[in-house]
Chains A and B, each alone.
Chain A
Amino acid sequence: MANKVVQETFSGHAQPKMSTLVRLCAAAWLVPGLGHLLLGRKWRGLILFATIVVMFLMGIAMQGEFFSTSSGSYLQTLGYFGELGVGVAMPAASFFGYAGGAPLFICADYGTAYLVAAGMLNVLAILDVYDIAMGRKP
């Protein structure tokens, strides 16, 4: 399947189909590094997966906060979308019982920064997948 996706997206200078781009970017969002793996960039995908997931897990270990949109605060809403950038990791953490950390824990602020940064780094990875699929990057 990976070869078929690579052939569809980078055949000389041919523009990839919109459905292919959407699939690749969605995959890159859902699992960090998966978009790169589908494009045949194995090591790039694995390194991105390891780094972003480690950052997310460290954020959880430091009891970082999971933002929500129900607070009404613009900053909290932005933080929510930042954390959502990491894909299924956030709902998976909630599913396994992580309720959003302990705000009074001594390292909670660092943990929150790690969680949001992991999401933002995955957004960069998604943009990289798009550029590679469009033929703008090797």
Chain B
Amino acid sequence: MVVSHFTALVLFSFLVSVVFGVLSKNTPRERALYGAKVFGVFVGIALLLGWIMYPAP
């Protein structure tokens, strides 16, 4: 299976976020919200770091 780095990143973040949500919270709504927040933070920070590293050789 060949995937781009970004696709691998998004899939990884999604799977980890699901597990974090399930383990950290107790109700389905809390789990979904927390999982979505963790997913957003994962991808957002990855994009931010990518742009910070962009000028580097």
Shortest B31–chain A CB gap in Å is 9
Is B11 an interface residue, CB under 8 A from the partner? yes
Within 8 A of B (CB), among A72-88: none
A125 touches B19 (CB 8 A): yes
Interface residues on B, range: 10 to 19
Binary contact track A6-50/B, C-beta < 8 Å → 1, others 0: 000000000000000000000000000000000000001001100
Q: Which of B8, B12, B23, B26 contacts A138 (CB 8 A)?
A: B26
**B39 vs chain A, min Cβ distance (A):** 13
Q: Which residues on B are within 8 Å of A, measured CB to CB?
A: 1-3, 5, 8, 11-12, 15-16, 18-19, 22-23, 26
The secondary-structure label for the interface of chain A is helix
Whether the Cβ atoms of A62 and B23 lie closer than 8 Å is no
| B3, B15, B19: most-surrounded residue (chain A CB, <10 A) | B19
Q: Does A68 contact B (CB under 8 A)?
A: no
Bound CA span A62–B5, Å: 12
Interface contact A58-B16, CB-CB below 8 Å? no
- Please give, as numbers and ranges, the residues of chain A lying within 8 Å of B11 by CB-CB distance: 58
| A44 nearest CB across to chain B (Å) | 6
